[in-house]
Amino acid sequence: MRSVEEQLAIVTDAAVIPEPVRMSIGDALGLMAAEEVQATVPVPGFALAAVDGYAVRAVDIGGERALGRGIEADHPDAQGADLTPSQPVMTLPERSLPVVGEVPAGSRQPLRLQPKQAVRVHTGAPLPTLADAVLPLEWSDRGRKRVTAQRPVRSGDFVRRAGDDMQPGDVAVGAGTVLGPAQIGLLAAAGRSKVLVYPRPRVAVLSYGHELVDIDRSPGHGQVFDIASYAVAAAAKEAGAEVNHIGIAAGEPRRLREIIETQLQRSELLIVLGAVGGQGAAVLRGLLEEFGDVDTTRVAMHPGSVQGFGLLGPGRIPALLLPNNPVSSLVAFEVFGRPLLRTSLGKKTIHRRLVRARCINHVSSIEGRRGYVRARLMRDAETQDYLVEGLGGATGAPAHLLAGLAEANAMIRVPEAVSEIRPGDIVDVLFVAQRW
């Protein structure tokens, strides 16, 4: 019997990274960049006002010679904060300046400021020539024809200088970077509408079994709905894949062979449900072996112990062979399929977040196998400690039922040497951010 670690290494080492494609940055979230993108122009391209106020020369309203000091343009208080002076308001005649114009954001009309003048500016507006600071509205009497400063500003206060964010030649996004919201913003700042990325791995999910019927038909005696392929296809999509849900692959061997061959040409991962266990599975495995090496084995885990893996076709595409039982197939996909897909996506973290939690009920496991018990993870309102309730594998709860899995937001990972977890025991829990 193979250990979970041994099987996981075999599976993830076979991950296929798709060939790069160029796509819109709006569609590239979560994908890995296949190129380095550099800024070609300064960002911002001009000096602009960081707050609503008046563009001034700092020296004309006291500057650094006055009592008190302004807030730097990149100070956390520079935007969206309370700019009300904490010191007594100081109104001096020399701080009263005529307002000679107004510049809204987006203005393309150049304006030159003369000494001892002010120009009303909006946030994001280009700064007039010779202006070196912005007097915030909150630090003035808000005058329309003349404005009186109630606090001094220094040169550079409340101004975003040209190139503050990026200079030409700066790397906006490096090759191999997984694109999050900030990286998408940097690409937009660099003026790139498209970027070369490694696309989502394509996954084909098909099921096999004479007992299966699709969900739009009524099952007869001895027949069951094809549940597992729908559940695993959804799990693959949640993991970041582009999924082609084939459904039930029925028909003569020649037809099955055509389906498999076609999917191997257009996929980075093939998932076959119903290819392990039973005489029907042996027939399907025989077909798969025509395309490459297929290894069916037992893994020291439960549920989902019996499974298979192969490298098929000229491209040696990885193929996961899983049982048709929905719980077993979902757990096996979580343990092996999801890390494989996240490896293909270039993710640095391929496993779920692991936390330590106190179990609140009895949970049973099979000694000699690593248990993956569906569970509900909670926080203690007073201590903020993690608490976990086993839902499958708990005393009196059959491990194969799907209903409990739908309520789970985590899995308790039970070591191979442990057959029972008691209330109060501290356990390892894999946190599933979204419900299955």
| CATH number where 336 lies | 3.40.980.10
Last residue of some domain: 198, 215, 245? Answer: 198
- What's the pLDDT score for residue 436? 40
- pLDDT above 80 for 365: yes
| Structural domain includes residue 140 | no
Q: Examine the domain organization and report whether 378 and 403 are in the same domain.
A: yes
The count of domains in the chain is 3
- What's the pLDDT score for residue 346? 86
CATH of the domain at 171: 3.90.105.10
Can you give the residue range of the structural domain that contains 341? Answer: 4-18+200-345
- pLDDT above 70 for 51: yes
CATH of the domain at 426: 2.40.340.10
Per the DSSP assignment, residues forming a β-bridge with 312 are 292, 317
- pLDDT above 90 for 53: yes
Q: Examine the domain organization and report whether 275 and 295 are in the same domain.
A: yes
Neighbours of 100 (CB within 10 A): 15
**Which long-range contacts does 380-388 make (Cβ < 8 Å, 24+ apart)?**
385/357, 385/358, 386/355, 386/356, 386/357, 386/358, 386/429, 387/357, 387/358, 387/359, 387/360, 388/357, 388/358, 388/359, 388/360, 388/412, 388/427, 388/429
- What's the pLDDT score for residue 435? 46
Per the DSSP assignment, residues forming a β-bridge with 414 are 371
- pLDDT above 50 for 144: yes
Grouping H, G, I as helix, E, B as strand and the rest as coil, residue 3 is coil
pLDDT band at 278 (very low <50, low <70, confident <90, very high): low
Name the amino acid, one letter, at 129.
T
- pLDDT above 50 for 70: no
- Residues 299-349: pLDDT tens digits? 999 999 999 999 999 999 999 999 989 999 999 999 999 999 999 988 888
Whole-angstrom distance, CA of residue 251 vs CA of residue 308: 22
Contact between 205 and 239 (Cβ < 8 Å)? no
Whole-angstrom distance, CA of residue 98 vs CA of residue 78: 24
Q: In 3-state terms, the chain is what percent helix, strand and coil (to 5)?
A: 20, 30, 45
Residue linked to tokens 């970077």: 177
| Structural domain includes residue 217 | yes
- What's the pLDDT score for residue 390? 93
| Structural domain includes residue 89 | no
Q: Examine the domain organization and report whether 341 and 210 are in the same domain.
A: yes
Q: 416 or 77: whose pLDDT is higher?
A: 416
- Residues 164-212: pLDDT tens digits? 888 899 999 999 899 999 999 999 988 899 999 999 999 999 998 888 8
- What's the pLDDT score for residue 106? 87
- What's the pLDDT score for residue 71? 40
Burial 278-316 (b: 16+ CB within 10 A, else e): eeebeebbebbeebbebebbebbbbbbbbbbbbbbbeee
| Structural domain includes residue 394 | yes
Residue linked to tokens 């003026």: 191
pLDDT band at 127 (very low <50, low <70, confident <90, very high): very high
DSSP letters spanning 257-283: HHHHHHHHHS-SEEEEET-SSSHHHHH
pLDDT band at 255 (very low <50, low <70, confident <90, very high): confident
pLDDT band at 404 (very low <50, low <70, confident <90, very high): low
Of the candidates 312, 224, 208, the residue with the CA atom closest to the CA atom of residue 256: 208
Q: What crossing angle do the helices spanning 279-289 and 253-265 adopt, rounded to 10°?
A: 50
- What's the pLDDT score for residue 260? 93
44: preceding bond cis by omega (within 30 degrees): yes
- Least confident range from 80-89, 269-278, 402-411: namely 80-89
- What's the pLDDT score for residue 92? 45
DSSP letters spanning 325-392: -HHHHHHHIIIIIHHHHHHHTT-S--S-EEEEEEE-S-EE--TTSEEEEEEEEEE-TTT--EEEEE-S
| Structural domain includes residue 293 | yes
| Structural domain includes residue 151 | no
Whole-angstrom distance, CA of residue 41 vs CA of residue 169: 8
Q: Examine the domain organization and report whether 379 and 411 are in the same domain.
A: yes
Contact between 37 and 172 (Cβ < 8 Å)? yes
Neighbours of 240 (CB within 10 A): 17
Whole-angstrom distance, CA of residue 268 vs CA of residue 273: 17
- Phi, psi (deg, nearest 5) at residue 69: -150, 155
Q: 66 or 393: whose pLDDT is higher?
A: 393
Last residue of some domain: 322, 345, 368? Answer: 345
Name the amino acid, one letter, at 341.
L
Q: Examine the domain organization and report whether 35 and 169 are in the same domain.
A: yes
DSSP letters spanning 112-157: BPPTT-EEEE-TTPBPPBT--EEEEGGGB---SSEEEBSS---TTT
Q: What is the mean pLDDT of residues 123-146?
A: 93
- What's the pLDDT score for residue 84? 46
Q: Examine the domain organization and report whether 286 and 212 are in the same domain.
A: yes
Last residue of some domain: 198, 220, 255? Answer: 198
Q: Examine the domain organization and report whether 312 and 394 are in the same domain.
A: no
Inter-CA distances, 246 with 253, 274, 316, 383, Å: 16, 14, 20, 48
Q: Examine the domain organization and report whether 248 and 278 are in the same domain.
A: yes
Residue linked to tokens 């037809």: 255
In terms of phi and psi (left: phi > 0; alpha: psi -120 to 50; beta: otherwise), the region of 393 is left
| Structural domain includes residue 252 | yes
Q: Examine the domain organization and report whether 328 and 292 are in the same domain.
A: yes
How high does pLDDT run on average in the chain? 87
Residue 327, CB half-sphere, CA atoms under 13 Å: how many? 21
| Structural domain includes residue 31 | yes
Q: Which helix (H) or strand (E) holds 197?
A: strand 194-198
Q: Examine the domain organization and report whether 179 and 215 are in the same domain.
A: no
- Residues 71-89: pLDDT tens digits? 444 443 444 444 544 444 4
Grouping H, G, I as helix, E, B as strand and the rest as coil, residue 62 is coil
- What's the pLDDT score for residue 165? 83
Q: Examine the domain organization and report whether 245 and 335 are in the same domain.
A: yes
Nearby residues of 38 by Cβ (< 8 Å), 6 or more positions away: 168, 169, 170, 171, 172, 190
Q: Examine the domain organization and report whether 311 and 404 are in the same domain.
A: no
- pLDDT above 50 for 279: yes
pLDDT band at 64 (very low <50, low <70, confident <90, very high): low
